[in-house]
Structure 1
Amino acid sequence: MNAPIMKPFRQHNRRVISYVPRVEPAPPDHAVKVEGFRDVWLLRGKYVAFVLVGEHFRRSPTFSVPEAAQRWATQMRQEGEIAEE
């Protein structure tokens, strides 16, 4: 019995699409700004902070209280200022 011939891994007539990691451009439309906090948004029942670092927004993990999300945002801002110096 003959060994099966394996197909080439890549089709030569197709372009190779390189992976670009997703960057949140800004808080999504369905997020609601939390009053009294600079960077905190309510997203699906949890509090999330969005901070502009360089040209991109960084999104925090989800928090159950808005104060924790704001602390994360403040820390990210301070780290960003240290990195730019």
Structure 2
Amino acid sequence: MPQDLTLTLAQAEIGASHRVAGLNPPTHAPEWGPWLEQIGFVAGEPVRVLSRALLGGEPLVVRIGQSTFALRRAEAACILLKGDMA
């Protein structure tokens, strides 16, 4: 995984289009990596944040490919992004 990737899905602007670069699950929850892959967060897939809850900013509503999910901020922080696709 390249070290220069700093943008995560948790940090992405609402509506900006990105691609998944990889996953970096926390050491306390390594099972998040395989789980996120199973639901479609694999390298190269298009992804965008559709909305965030008003209070606290979670959950995030995200679109990956043709699927829509609600993720907690901690889960979204595991998803590394490639640059804006705009």
Q: TM-score, normalised by structure 2?
A: 0.25
Which is greater in Rg? Answer: 1
Higher relative contact order (CA 8 A, sep 6+): 2
Higher helix share: 1
